[in-house]
Amino acid sequence: MDQDAHTTPTDRRYTAEHEWIKQEDADDTFLVGITSFAQEQLGDIVYVELPKVGDRIEAGQPFGVVESVKTASDLYAPVSGEVLEVNAALVDEPQIVNDDPYQGGWMIRVKAEGTPSEGLLSAEQYADQIGE
């Protein structure tokens, strides 16, 4: 396993439910995915259910489901907004989320309304939460 692909990046923020959110060049667009800790807890991911482009997501509410051989788990939106794009590669190759959770395993691109909620964690705070 490429360790670098699983180190908690400092260029983004995190939810207590193990999602990450990364601001892109345009101020109001963000990428959302799940952390390496999350993919490791889930085990081999077999299916990712994502919203449709144009759907509205609501901060703190489920926007999709990730299913592994062990369990199915809701994905919680770190921000409210409109879905601009979903990662189509995950349909055929959900294991990208296991292999490369912070880059290739991104899930949705969101045009945010307002700023992401204040409860988000820094990389350091998130690492503390998961006991790293």
Interacting residue ranges for another protein, rule: CB under 8 A: 41, 44, 46-47, 67, 69-73, 94-95
**Spatial distance between the Cα atoms of 30 and 91, rounded to a whole number of angstroms:** 21
Locate tokens 């670098």: which residue?
Answer: 4
Look at strands 45-49 and 29-34 and give their pairing: unpaired
Q: Which is nearer to another protein, 28 or 93 (CB)?
A: 93
Residue 123 CB, nearest approach to another protein (Å): 23
Residue 70 CB, nearest approach to another protein (Å): 4
Q: Which is nearer to another protein, 30 or 76 (CB)?
A: 76
Identify the CA nearest to 59 among candidates 97, 21, 12, 101.
21
Q: Which DSSP helix (H) or strand (E) runs through 20?
A: strand 19-23
Residue 42 CB, nearest approach to another protein (Å): 10
Q: Which is nearer to another protein, 53 or 72 (CB)?
A: 72
Q: Which is nearer to another protein, 48 or 112 (CB)?
A: 48
Residue 27 CB, nearest approach to another protein (Å): 31
**Spatial distance between the Cα atoms of 112 and 101, rounded to a whole number of angstroms:** 21
Give bridge partners of residue 109 from the DSSP assignment: 31, 85
